[in-house]
A and B are shown apart, each in its own frame.
Chain A
Amino acid sequence: MITGSISRSFQQDTAIIANGKQWAVLIAFLAILLLLPHLPLFSSAPVLGLINGIGVAIIAVTGLQILTGYCGQFSMGPSALVGVGAYTCAILTAKWGWGFMPALLASGFAAALVGFAFGIPSLRVKGFYLALSTIALQFIFVFLVEHGPHEVTGNIDGLQVPTARLPDWLGGMAIDSAEGKYYLILAFVLLGLFLATNLVRTNAGRAFIVVRDNELAAQAIGVNPFRYKLLAFFISSLYAGVAGALYTQLSLFIAPGDFTLTTSIWYVAMLITGGMGTISGVVFGSVLLNVLLFLGPRYGPQLTSVFPQLSDGAVYAGLNLLLALVIILFLVFQPHGVAHWWKSVSSRFSRRYLQ
């Protein structure tokens, strides 16, 4: 007798959801997600705020996964690109009165264009030049925000952002509750994850993977590495821009200090701990590290009462140190991240026999 998941056609084999069982699991999971704000543990405002933050991070890290996990290009500037999206959205909605949805689209493309501009010089040569030009992007972005015209960028004081409203043809309601924001962010998270999962199955996705694995071989089979690296960076920046626009809604206030090199490192760490090369890895990593970021400042100060000779800022530094240790442990012992653990555990519960 044959047990386990069997595909009876090529189409079924390559489908994302292959059979009835998987559909059932997916629908159940989506139902839980939709009902989440009404569940007892999750309905409090700080927890919903945390989940919203996780959602935004998932979108940004999905973009990073496409760039680094699938295409093998290392970027140190995801946070700057999120910042570009955030500031574009903020300026469009606060200063020029745009609606939120159009502003979100524009933010995505603004970030994508910036990515494109920084990608062109740095992706032509094989090597880690993208890492350095994204560091440059970080510094240049913060410089432009802090020293640009105060009217436009708010400089170091930051910008207030108006609450998003649904478009008029949907009722024009303001999305001002944590619950409302949850649904808004959830919609984009699901869309983003779905598109990313699909991307891997397309020709472009396969081209990304071959560029990652062996750039010379890619060239030999006619895949232009520069073109696909640039495309990956473009798509990744698009995701970051959308994440940035949603970020503005988290606390309705943005400042250049939200988008530093350290924040970028946190995004990269989410990718590493979650697992490179899988979409589930994105979710694992984002959840894990954002929870860490959330609990740290809450319970960290209790530590300084135990060690009074630690300086102020030691809590934040301690958090960074913990993050560094987490990264090191994952890089050395489990380069495929939490997603790999999940897969190994879950595969023990599935039985695959071939008669």
Chain B
Amino acid sequence: MGSLPLQLLVTGTMVGAIYGLIATGFVVIYKSAGVFNLAQGQMVMLGGYVTLACLTQLNLPLLPALIVGSVAFVIIGVLIERLMMRPLLGQSVLASVMMTIALQLVIGSIVMIVWGAKVTPFPKVFPQQPLFVGPLVISQVGLWGFVISLLVFAVFTLFFKYSKLGMLMRATAESHELAMSIGVDVKKVMRLSWMMGGVAALLGGWIMASTGSVGPQLAIVGLTALPVAIFAGLESILGCLIGGIIVGIAQNFAVGYLDRYTGGGLSDVTPYILMMLVLLVRPHGLFGMKKVERV
């Protein structure tokens, strides 16, 4: 009984890192395009399905499957940017956000038409036996997911901080006009950010799917990235990681201790409750910065 809190802490951290990863994709798109990609959850679900298809129908081993999936998502990101976001460039951001709603419907219905609503178990790419560390039971799948998330985080952080392209993306995120004035092709940057958001969704979807199965519920889980991103403040990638871990831990604690009183369902709701609390107390998120607009 005494090890329950520690167990929940560990499991929460592992799943939280994945939330943070998906949230990073959301934040990247927001920072460069100013658009809340409300379709991120569906993109995660699609990522799970695409990886499943690569693994089972194309019978590829893991790494090539991921590469093929990433290429597919890069293409999807480009298509989204070109067909759905670019035509709205002159209009208000509200129109772009509404477009992401349409995108959500498109992805959700295509998945439903092609794959149906069945929940399919994901092929076992990770060793299945849990590790027993002291009183804790750590699933190897979860551990691998955690490690991979951290690796992707590291790659993203290094990219944005040290590579020229990353710095150009940050510059564009701050101000489109100033970036254009130093010769940045803003359209290319937006395309790149949608591609990165897509790849983050793919990886998140793959990791989420490997902890269980692929199905429409992945979209709900993927949607959790949104409150995580708000909770963390839409500023930094590291913030997403820490915010994700905090949300993951809180979610696990809520499920572990409170689910018996409510008959379940808390795991979906807890991230949103946390988000509402953060909006009440610190609207810019845990690591967000308050923006001052001058006329």
By beta carbon, the residue of chain A nearest B229 is A132
How many A residues face the partner with a CB closer than 8 A? Answer: 48
Of the candidates B102, B112, B279, which one forms a contact with A327 in the assembled complex, judged by CB atoms under 8 Å apart?
B102
Interface membership of B48, Cβ < 8 A: no
Docked complex Cα distance between A124 and B276 (Å): 12
Whether B106 contacts A321 by the Cβ 8 Å rule is yes
Interface flags, B97-135, vs A, CB<8A=1, else 0: 111011111101110110111100000000000000000
The CA-CA distance from A146 to B293 in the complex, in Å, is 43
Contacts of A314 in B (CB 8 A): 112-113, 116
B91 sits at the interface (CB 8 A): yes
B98 & A121 in contact (Cβ 8 Å cutoff): no
Residue of A nearest to B101 (CB): A265
Q: Kindly state the separation between the CA atoms of A312 and B118 in the bound complex, as whole angstroms.
A: 10
Whether the pair A268, B275 counts as a contact (CB closer than 8 A) is: no
Q: Which of A117-141 touch B at CB < 8 Å?
A: 118, 120-122, 124-126, 128-129, 131-133, 135-136, 139-140
Chain A residues with Cβ below 8 Å from B88 are 331-332
Classify the interface of chain B: helix, strand, loop or mixed.
Answer: helix
B19 CB to closest chain A CB, in angstroms?
15
Q: Does B264 belong to the interface (CB within 8 Å)?
A: yes
* A320 in contact with B108 (CB, 8 Å): yes
Identify which of B59-67, B188-196, B265-273 touches chain A.
B265-273
Among B106, B262, B275, B283, which residue has its beta carbon within 8 angstroms of that of A147?
Answer: B262
Q: Which A residues lie within 8 Å of B16 (CB)? A: none
The answer to whether A92 has its CB under 8 Å from any CB of chain B is: no
| CB-contacts of B24-82 with A (<8 A) | 36, 38
- Closest 8 interchain pairs by CB? A311-B116, A317-B112, A136-B272, A324-B105, A121-B279, A321-B109, A317-B109, A327-B102
Using a CB–CB distance below 8 Å, which chain B residues touch chain A? Answer: 36, 38, 84, 87-88, 91-95, 97-99, 101-106, 108-110, 112-113, 115-118, 223, 226-227, 230, 262-266, 268-269, 272-273, 275-276, 279-280, 283-284, 293, 295
Q: Which residues does A use to contact B, with CB under 8 Å?
A: 68, 72, 74, 76, 118, 120-122, 124-126, 128-129, 131-133, 135-136, 139-140, 143, 146-147, 216, 220, 262, 265, 268, 272, 310-314, 316-321, 323-325, 327-328, 331-332, 335
